[in-house]
Chains A and B, each alone.
Chain A
Amino acid sequence: MECNGINDIEVIEKVKEGNSAEFEKIITKYSKMIYSIAYRLLRDGEEARDLSQDVFLRAFRFISKYNPEFKLSTWLVRIAYNLYKDRFKTKKLHIVHQISHGDDEENKKYEERFIDNSPRPDEKVENKMKSEQIINIINRLPANYKMVITLYFWGDHSYEEIADIMEIPVGTVKSRLKRAKNYLLENYSRLLEKWK
């Protein structure tokens, strides 16, 4: 619980007692982590910033509901996940639209960049293109699977922590992760075949 010189429980107790300024420490400590997750889920800097803000706003308002049995980071990420799910519901149509047109538009963009006398070596550009295509594939995943992949690859969370965050059994985390990775591998392979 103690990291970066801050004891989360002590800070939370002070906030509960009415010392709002103490909450700054929590924000300073966890804002980067929450923003990273939010960005990877939303892939939009402004939206990621808004979501991060909402996470801390909600955490601050409901600090009395925090259960110290869980890590504070787990609780914060859980809030982020719930907020993301809410946003995902409202933005679903938009995302579906992106999926249906994503490939061609993105490829065109990359082609243009590639042709546009990019100063980087070909291999580097190709690698970047591949990386971004993988991110595109991840973005097509349903919210549940995307969250599992995000927390697994970038969140540095254990299966148990992911299960706590998403409020699902560990077995479900594993099966979702397996299915998501399978999906990613299949689509990545297909992409590579197409590029050959």
Chain B
Amino acid sequence: MNCGEIRDFIIEYNGRIEGAGIKPEITAEINSHLVSCRKCALARERMLDMSAKIASDKVEIPANLASSIISKVIPAAEPAKPKIKTVGPTEISFIDKIAELFGISSRNFAFAMSAVVLAALAISLILYNHGLKSGGEAERIADSKGVTQQENIVKEPADKKFKKIENELSKNMTAANNEEIEKKFKRSIFTVESGAVANLTGEYRENELYQVKHGEDLVITYKKVAEVIIKTDSKFKVNDEGIILESGMVSVDLKPKSLPGFSVTTPESVVEVVGTIFSVASSNNKTEVIVKKGCVKVTDIKTKNFSLVNAGESKTVSRQDEVKSETAPVVIEYGSNAVHEAAKTLHANTQASTSEVSHTAETGTVPVGIDGANIKDVINKFKNENITIDK
């Protein structure tokens, strides 16, 4: 053995070669080397000395340590409830029991229940459409009879009064909703419905980086109103404003106006919701936003230039050089005519703002953001910029 190998033994066994469980022949070889090599012998001596001195280091424990910790810890905190929802055996057996009552397997029961729910949805949709048509008929009859219909509401979707009433209502609803969220999710911003995260640092903390496990999609309910599907391997954080997507893909289904200011942030952009279904994918310094329903607004944070991405459209934001806007046939599925009209009108400005965003993106310094907590804000901002909204 050479000096290097002997040193390795000295380091590993802290200089205690004898009685360290090393094979006798190796111990003998080490000892004979130590007799002949002064440097290694000195290294061993120092290693023994150093280990002994380290071991002799004593810590003085404060007398009232435990009691002082108890007095501060116990009243200060309540155990956090588990954030990951688990399907307990009782839930499964409950479904099994119901299925048993019907005399079918739990799988068939689930299938039958799904069919019932779908049928109920279809009936609701038909009835809803029928209701809208009936409303139109009522208006026609009222017109023919010379009765002053609620013109402001039906014919003037951008009417201030109508908007005001509607916004007040939704404002109240949102406030109540927020209060409920605040109450219920004081410690937990989201609940995990399915899938799993590989927690990178161990403890759950707001804004801590998570990664979705390979081969699984993570489905979370964010503040009870947004269903967020985070695709496999995506890296993300969650905070009070929404999701910060480091890489990967996120799909969001958010009830209109239910969560003002909800956003998905990527290294290139911030995508803020008006009330919509959309997805955001982030990879290789670019972000792709695809809007399935409603609209989202893309704003350059620095210059305040913005563009809308409507239903059926997609937008690619590149960190380095470009912003691409691809327009598919526009199918806007919005409940409110006002929103429909506004979204259409606002879209007319999209190209100009897109080019502005593209210009700033070329500099590589300006982050691109999506702004607009609700459609009213969007409309007001456009109004301030002297853009006429078609009636």
Query: Residues of A with Cβ closer than 8 Å to B?
Result: 15-16, 18, 20-21, 23-24, 27-28, 31-32, 35-36, 39-40, 45, 49, 52-53, 56-58, 60-65, 78-79, 82, 127, 130-131, 134-135, 138, 153-154, 167, 178, 181-182, 184-185, 188-189, 192
Contact B77–A61 (Cβ < 8 Å): yes
Does the CB pair A82–B203 fall under 8 Å? yes
In the assembled complex, which residues on chain B have CB atoms less than 8 Å from the CB atom of A65? 82, 203-204
* CB pair A134 B50 closer than 8 Å: yes
Chain B, residues 44-88, CB within 8 Å of chain A (1/0): the string is: 001101110111110111100110111011101111111000000
Q: Report yes or no: B59 in contact with A64, Cβ–Cβ below 8 A.
A: no
Q: A127-B53, A154-B57, A192-B46 are in contact. Are A62 and B80 (CB under 8 A)?
A: yes
Task: Point out the residues of chain A lying under 8 angstroms from B74, CB to CB.
Answer: 20-21, 23-24, 60
CA distance in complex: A51, B361 (Å): 44
For A38, give the chain B residue with the smallest CB separation: B59
Of the residues A28, A49, A61, A188, contact of B46 by C-beta under 8 Å: A188
CB distance from A90 to the nearest CB of B (A): 16
Known: A131-B53, A167-B202. Is A185-B73 also a contact (CB below 8 A)? no
Q: Known: A53-B72, A64-B80. Is A78-B202 also a contact (CB below 8 A)? A: yes
Could you tell me if B77 and A60 are in contact, using CB atoms closer than 8 angstroms? yes
Provide the residues of chain A in CB contact with B76, threshold 8 Å: 57
* Residue from the list B42, B61, B66, B79 in contact with A16, Cβ < 8 A: B79
* Contact A35 to B65, CB < 8 A, known contacts A53-B72, A53-B73, A64-B80: yes
Contact of A57 among B46, B59, B61, B73 (CB under 8 A): B73
Partner pick for A131 among B47, B57, B202, CB 8 A cutoff: B57
Q: How far is the CA of A53 from the CA of B65 in the complex (A)?
A: 9
By a CB distance below 8 angstroms, the chain A residues around B8 are: 178
Q: Which B residues lie within 8 Å of A61 (CB)? A: 77-80
Q: How many angstroms from the CA of A49 to the CA of B73 in the assembled complex? A: 12
B46 touches A185 (CB 8 A): yes
- Across the interface, do A82 and B202 meet the contact criterion of CB distance under 8 Å? yes
Most interface-central of B43, B62, B69 (chain A CB within 10 A):
B69
Q: Are B70 and A36 in touch, CB under 8 angstroms? A: no
Question: Across the interface, do A49 and B65 meet the contact criterion of CB distance under 8 Å?
Answer: yes
Residues of A within 8 A of B12 (CB): 178
Which residue of A has the minimal Cβ distance to B14? A181
Distance, CA A64 to CA B78, complexed state (A): 11
- By secondary structure, the A interface counts as helix
Give, as a whole number of angstroms, the nearest-CB distance from B196 to chain A: 14
A52 x B50 contact (CB < 8 A): no
Interface pair A62/B53, CB less than 8 Å apart: no
List B residues at the A interface (Cβ < 8 Å). Answer: 8, 11-12, 14, 42-43, 46-47, 49-51, 53-57, 59-62, 65-66, 68-70, 72-74, 76-82, 201-204
Contact B65 A32 (CB under 8 A): yes
Distance between Cα atoms of A147 and B74 in the complex (Å): 28
- Expressed in whole angstroms, the minimum distance between the Cβ of A155 and any Cβ of chain B is 12
Q: Assess the A57–B203 pair: CB atoms within 8 A.
A: no
Cβ-closest chain B residue relative to A184 = B50
Residue of B12, B49, B53 with most chain A CB atoms under a 10 A cut-off:
B53
4 closest A-B pairs by beta carbon, nearest first, are A64-B82, A131-B53, A31-B66, A36-B59
B27 CB to closest chain A CB (Å) equals 20
Q: Is the CB of B59 within 8 A of A40?
A: yes
Cβ–Cβ contact B79 & A60, under 8 A: yes
State how many angstroms separate the Cβ of B208 from the closest Cβ of chain A.
Answer: 11
CA A143 to CA B51, docked complex, whole Å: 20
Name which residue of chain A comes closest to B82, CB basis. A64
Tell me, in angstroms, the Cα distance from A157 to B12 when the chains sit together.
Answer: 16
Measured between C-beta atoms, what is the minimum distance from B21 to chain A in Å? 15
Chain A residue nearest to B187 (CB atoms) is A61
From B56, which residue of chain A is reached at the shortest CB distance? A131
- The one of A18, A31, A45 in contact with B69, judged by C-beta atoms closer than 8 angstroms, is A31
The minimal Cβ–Cβ distance linking B55 to chain A, given in whole angstroms, is 7
Q: Are A49 and B80 in contact (CB under 8 A)?
A: no
| Chain A residues with CB below 8 A from B80, complex form | 61-62, 64
- Extra inter-chain contacts (19) besides given A36-B59, A167-B202, A181-B47, CB under 8 Å: A20-B79, A21-B74, A27-B73, A35-B65, A39-B59, A40-B57, A52-B69, A56-B69, A56-B73, A60-B77, A61-B80, A62-B80, A63-B79, A82-B202, A82-B203, A154-B57, A185-B11, A185-B43, A189-B43
Closest residue of chain B to A130 (Cβ to Cβ) is B53
Q: Which residues of A contact B201 (CB under 8 A)?
A: 82
Instruction: Report A137 CB to chain B, min CB distance, Å.
Output: 9
Residues of B close to A181: CB separation below 8 A: 11, 14, 47
**Min CB–CB distance A28 → chain B (angstroms):** 5
In angstroms, Cα B205 to Cα A82, docked, is: 12
Please report the C-alpha to C-alpha distance between residue A188 and residue B51 in the assembled complex, in whole angstroms. Answer: 11
Whole-angstrom CA separation of A34 from B57 in the bound complex: 16
Known contacts A79-B203, A131-B57: does B11 contact A57 (CB below 8 Å)? no
Closest approach, in angstroms, between the C-beta of A114 and any C-beta of chain B? 17
A58:B203 contact, CB within 8 angstroms: yes
> Which residues of the partner chain A approach B62 to less than 8 Å between Cβ atoms?
35, 45, 49
Q: Which residue of B lies closest to A181 (CB)?
A: B11
The listed residue (B47, B49, B55, B81) touching A64 by CB distance below 8 A is B81
Q: In the complex, what's the smallest C-beta–C-beta distance from A194 to chain B, in angstroms?
A: 13
